[in-house]
Amino acid sequence: MIVGYARVSTADQSLDRQLDLLASAGVDSRSVYKEKMTGTKRHRPELDRMISELKPGDEVVITDLTRISRSTKDLLDIVESITEKQASIRSLKDTWLNTGPDNPYTHFLLIVMSGLSQLERDLVSQRTREGLRAAKARGRCGGRPSKTNNYTDTVQKLYQTGAKINEIARMTGLSRSTVNRIVKQSDS
């Protein structure tokens, strides 16, 4: 039997693209295990259920490597769990990933390619940290720009004319706590 596994990281993301690719590869929609959670967690309910329900000769189809795992160690563990059930795994995007009996290079390529994927993730994290440090050294910090500076004069004038905190918040679209903070800053 051919089964599919589709995963996105958050509840607001859509599985549609993956489900369409799996369907075009011949996977029956009733045989697809779907998950909406991060791939960094090794134990995921639908992944664990899929592996536990595999029978000898089954084939797991995924759209790409990152859908089943985000780390080399987890990927190797998952593939091992699947092959221990005498089932195989195949990736539509990463065509080298096919643990069927006709592919003697799979284990070698699995280690090399998953290592490269891990390296890519690590390099992205490293560049992000370096960029944040460089910005901080220049006096900039991450995060959303503050609305406070744009509304300070307006809030102060409204408050001085007798407007209440709730009214000012409603008129400016700021939260009450932000309006309070601006008012307290102007009082000091």
- Nearest by Cα to 54 from 99, 18, 22: 99
Which pLDDT belongs to residue 147? 66
148 or 42, which is more confident: 42
- Compute the 3-state secondary structure of the chain and give helix, strand, coil in percent, each to the nearest 5: 55, 10, 35
- Per-residue confidence band for 188, with pLDDT thresholds at 50, 70 and 90: low
Q: What is the mean pLDDT of residues 68-95?
A: 86
Is residue 41 over pLDDT 90? Answer: no
Catalytic residues: 9
| Residue 130 identity (one-letter amino acid) | E
Share of the chain above pLDDT 70, in %: 91
Q: pLDDT per residue over 141-157, tens digit each? A: 776 666 667 788 888 88
Which pLDDT belongs to residue 101? 67
Q: What is the DSSP string of 25-72?
A: TT--GGGEEEEES-TT-S--HHHHHHHHH--TT-EEEES-HHHH-SSH
Q: Domain 148-187 has what CATH class?
A: mainly alpha
- Per-residue confidence band for 21, with pLDDT thresholds at 50, 70 and 90: very high
Instruction: Identify the architecture of domain 2-121 in CATH.
Output: 3-Layer(aba) Sandwich (3.40)
| Residue 43 identity (one-letter amino acid) | H
- Per-residue confidence band for 10, with pLDDT thresholds at 50, 70 and 90: confident
Burial status of residue 48 (CB atoms within 10 A of its CB: 0-12, 13-18, 19 or more):
middle
Does the model's pTM come out above 0.85?
no
Name the residue ranges covered by the structural domains of the chain: 2-121, 148-187
Q: pLDDT per residue over 90-141, tens digit each? A: 889 977 777 776 666 777 776 777 777 778 878 888 998 998 888 888 888 7
Average model confidence (pLDDT) for the chain?
86
Share of the chain above pLDDT 90, in %: 37
Distance (Å, rounded) from C-alpha 48 to C-alpha 143?
Answer: 37
Tally of CB atoms within 10 A around 53: 12
Q: Do domains 2-121 and 148-187 have the same CATH topology?
A: no
